[in-house]
Structure 1
Amino acid sequence: YESGMTVVHAEEVTGLGMPAIIAKARRIVGDGPTYLSFDVDSIDPAFAPGTGTPVAGGPSSAKILSVLRQINQVDIVGADVVEVAPAYDHADITAIAGSTVAMHYLGLLAERKARLEELNSGNNVVAALNQASGI
């Protein structure tokens, strides 16, 4: 896309498989800051029926969560979950799927914060050692 955004369609996920999609995502974003947007209607309607545009053939919510667990080294700086439509969501199935994705996002952001704090404390230790030794 002209905006620089990359969209991965359900057919591509199904055709390539999750490991290839994860590798592709890591190649695309590299070490740069990444905003992750998840469209809940990409999940098969059997697992997320409460959306305005359900399309059969998407991955299960379990597959989506598996992908999220495997991208913890990506520098995620923000995220959203879109297309949950409560009016169509029987028994809160889609709300549960969407909120679980959001919870995983929060976990990824917490991991990122912990990595940054660890790096900063390491840098502070190096700076203190350098200062103490007169470097």
Structure 2
Amino acid sequence: MNIKEKIASLKRIPIFAKVPEKNLQQIAKMLTIRRFKDQSIIIEKQRGNDTFYIVWEGEVDVIIDDNVSTLKKGDYFGEISLREEREATATIMAKGAVSLLALSKEDFWAVLKENPAIEEYLEFRSEFGNYVF
């Protein structure tokens, strides 16, 4: 995937909707692609996490106790443990083969510093979830 494809993908994800084009280019350069096989544990609950992930291809399951939900293309995870600097709140498992765009902890913080709209979006989502107003 080249930079233009990454930028086009980022533009379709609500968290990046208000980010200027030049900043999207910088973010796209920071992103790496990570691939996981079916049932691979990507993040384990109550363990450390140092990466912000965006689902690029495939699906992942979010497992919290007995509750399971599925994230699809454009969904993201890992932000809670990074923002709150704590252990992961859920186990994330590949549901089939999956490709993820990954942003290291250091790059994640650099992106938030340069793009307050992303921080505002994450704050809103943490407070209100997926509710529609």
TM-score (norm 2): 0.24
More strand by share: 2
More helix by share: 1
TM-score (norm 1): 0.24
Report which structure shows greater RCO (CA 8 Å, sep ≥6): 2
